[in-house]
Structure 1
Amino acid sequence: MRILLLSGSPSSPSRSARLLNHVGIKLNELGQRTSSLHVRDLPAQALMHADFSDPELSAAKSLLAKADAIVIATPIYKAAYSGLLKSFLDILPQDGLAGKLVLPLATGGSQSHMLALDYGLRPVLASLSARHVLPSIYATDAQVSWSELHGLQLDTAIQQRVEDGVQLLLDSLSFLRPSARTEAELVLPC
């Protein structure tokens, strides 16, 4: 299965990108193949003008199209996901996430922004025809820290939510993969 790690943070480094990278490491440790896309690395003019002829935008859309699942990370600014991520999602066709599982991640200044994922991002992902949007993982700045000495440090609760989210993503992927199901599971009850 192919899993795309999609970072919508305009900053580098950022807490949301570090959290996304942590999830990617967990997935790799569990034998999953991941690829990364940082929207901030795409050409701004092509993104803002929805220049579909731009080779970098075409490559980004192709990477997304090949993924079975997407782990999407964004910082929350003023109770909304990043404008940069919005710009990228805006260039996708209405069925741009068709058949895909999505695990949303976000970081924000306080718990008061936690619902931005459910009220802001989740409806957009659904309108792009995501097959299933898994429960979001939201972390405050106090729950995610970084230092050169210790690297990424996650609060115990966030660490558990990440582990649960990764496991749910893998369980959902294996259920949706036809070869992983038995013939009996494929037969609907009468």
Structure 2
Amino acid sequence: MARILILTGSPSLRSRTSALALHVGDELSLDGHDVEVLHLRGLPAPALLSADTADPAIAAAVRAVIAADAVVVATPIYKASYSGLLKVFLDLLPQAALQGKVVLPLATGGTIAHLLAIDYGLRPVLVSLGARHITAGRFVLDTHIDHLSGGPVLVDQTSRDCIDRTVAGFRDAVRLVGDPADAALATA
């Protein structure tokens, strides 16, 4: 099974974005994938902001990205773009850090006005880092996420269905990339 790294780019401790990312990680774990979650807010701010890639925590985070077969990138949308925390971390990655990887972008926000932030803000950066295959991302409204009650994370049935389809597409892409025979059949 694949090694999947989930990057959460929310600076908040009580984060809807992190709750969504963990929900997706749980779904992927049920398939037998080795899922690791990296909350970028837990990295040392001075090292992040000074681009200190020699810092042990930063170096370990970069190694985790490089070692992963697939990456889920989850971010809140602030001012029509992905979080500054995520940007600072992505800037520290080597140019080909996502080469050969399947990537799933996830975003949360307070209004559907930010719906296209994945395609116009985040996707170009992921491509520039060499992502082999970026699956269809998903934007989820904050009001559709319950991160506090301990009940279902997605309180809206439409959002649950959308996330289920998004995870299924990512799951299929990870399987195809992991099995060259399947990938050859898919392109035949």
Give me the TM-score of the superposition, normalised by structure 2: 0.93
1:36 match: 37
Shift of 1:185: 3.0
Unaligned 5+ runs, structure 2:
none
1:90 match: 91
1:111 match: 112
Q: Is the Cα–Cα contact under 8 Å of residues 174 and 180 in structure 1 kept in the other structure?
A: no
- Secondary structure, counterpart of 2:93 in structure 1: coil
When residues 42 and 149 of structure 1 are mapped into structure 2, their CA distance, relative to the original with a 3 A threshold, is: closer
1:185 match: 185
- Counterparts of 1:89 and 1:8 in 2: how far apart (Å)? 10
- Secondary structure, counterpart of 1:6 in structure 2: strand
- Counterparts of 2:56 and 2:136 in 1: how far apart (Å)? 33
1:65 match: 66
2:22 match: 21
- Give CA deviations for 1:40-60 in whole Å, capped at 9, x if unaligned: 100111111111111111100
- Secondary structure, counterpart of 2:23 in structure 1: helix
- Counterparts of 1:141 and 1:36 in 2: how far apart (Å)? 21
When residues 179 and 130 of structure 1 are mapped into structure 2, their CA distance, relative to the original with a 3 A threshold, is: closer
Looking at secondary structure, tell me which structure has more strand per residue.
Answer: 1
2:177 match: 176
1:39 maps to a residue whose letter is: L
Detail structure 1 runs of 4+ shifted over 4 Å in the superposition: none
When residues 89 and 149 of structure 1 are mapped into structure 2, their CA distance, relative to the original with a 3 A threshold, is: closer
1:174 maps to a residue whose letter is: R
The answer to whether structure 1 residue 49 and structure 2 residue 50 are counterparts is: yes
2:112 maps to a residue whose letter is: Q
When residues 13 and 113 of structure 1 are mapped into structure 2, their CA distance, relative to the original with a 3 A threshold, is: same
Q: RMSD of the alignment, in Å?
A: 1.8
The answer to whether structure 1 residue 143 and structure 2 residue 140 are counterparts is: no
Unaligned 5+ runs, structure 1:
none
1:4 match: 5
- Give CA deviations for 1:8-55 in whole Å, capped at 9, x if unaligned: 000011111000000011111122210011111001111111111111
CA radius of gyration, larger in:
1
1:125 maps to a residue whose letter is: L
Q: Which segment drifts farther, 103-112 or 147-156?
A: 147-156
Shift of 1:181: 2.8
